[in-house]
Homo-oligomer: A and B are copies of this chain.
Amino acid sequence: MGRVAVTDGMDENAIKQLEEAGHEVILNHYSKSELDNGVLGDFDAVVIRSATKITDKVINSSSGRNGSLKLIGRAGVGIDNIDMNAATKSKIAVCNTPSASTNAVVELTIGHLLSCARHITTGDRTLRSNEWAKKSLRGTELSGKRLGLIGFGRIAQGVGKLARSLGMTLHTYDPYLSPEIAADQHCTLHDDIDEVFRLCTHISIHCNHSDETHHLVNSERIQLMPHVGIDGVQCGNHLVNCARGGIVDELAVLEALENGTLASAALDVFEVEPALDNPLIHHRNFHGTPHIGAATYEAQARIGQEMAALIIDFLEGRRPKSILNPLIF
């Protein structure tokens, strides 16, 4: 049967599932030089999260004449750490688990929106420094405000559903979205991203990071935001990014926090991770978490189960669902 390398961890039950199907599973986080030197060539499949980078060098040294690697499983969604072109050229299939972590990211996004609007992290921080900051922590409500969703895939739709329960109205920019889906979800679809920034006091990012979306959130767009909700309340502008680092220009965010263009910003993802020595993090109105969007026990269990099923299908000769390579598979 097959040999499977798991380099960034995997749910216990999922590993059991693979082993019970007769496959050998090796749990090990390999160094860059081990990867470059073809360590994955001894495996049929590798399961990664975001920490392992699968470059063209890693692919070339592990496949074809150099090894047996035929499947890269991304336990999660984002594939910016995989060289897709190189994988496709080497006939290595790439799979991910696109829906398993949706609810985890949805809940974190709503948590950040509420935390920002109500100064929850600031409240906790000031209490811990023995300061009763009640008077300076008057917040605003999400109810009655507009939420702009940049990208309107599964996660944004989940966020949108909860935001509507909270009394927000929805606007989105998503050039790949059919107008019917937006209408079904009571969300106004705009052709011009600037219009979403012009209308919305609250913006949440839910797209991939690509050349097209790099620094999509920049100074010019942040400056378009209206400060005042449709209910007439001076709630200021709020930005949340639980999608991918790089979509938001962090220097622009820091500047906007400093001059008050943004009342708050919450980031779970950063241009450089781990995000240490990042000046943005220390701003009073910044709220951050260390890339934990999918980090729930529930999501990791769902991811593991989906990934185990994908790998078992592949190694037993069936075409797995959610193959991401174009055409050739």
* A residues with CB within 8 A of B: 103-104, 107-108, 110-112, 114-115, 117-121, 123-128, 130, 132-134, 137-144, 161-162, 165-167, 231, 233-235, 273-277, 281-282, 287-292, 295-301
Which of B107, B123, B138 has a CB less than 8 Å from the CB of A300?
Answer: B138
Is B123 a contact partner of A290 (Cβ separation < 8 A)?
yes
Give the contacting residue for A141; candidates B103, B128, B138; CB below 8 A: B103
- From B110, B123, B130, B290, A126 is in contact (CB under 8 Å) with B290
Q: A120-B121, A165-B162 are in contact. Are A127 and B295 (CB under 8 A)?
A: no
Contact call A128/B274, Cβ cutoff below 8 A? no
Pair A141/B107 contact, Cβ less than 8 Å: yes
Number of copies of this chain in the oligomer? 2
Complex: how many Å from CA A141 to CA B299? 8
Partner of A292, one of B134, B143, B144, B290: B134
Task: Find chain B residues with CB under 8 A from A114 CB.
Answer: 107-108, 110-111, 114-115
Are the CB atoms of B127 and A124 closer together than 8 Å? Answer: no
Contact across chains for A273 and B132 when beta carbons are under 8 A apart = yes
Partner of A132, one of B115, B275, B296: B275
Q: Per a CB cutoff under 8 Å, which of B111, B126, B132 touches A111?
A: B111
A111 neighbours in B (Cβ, 8 Å)? 111, 114-115, 117-118, 120
Name the B residues within 8 Å of A231 (CB-CB). Answer: 298
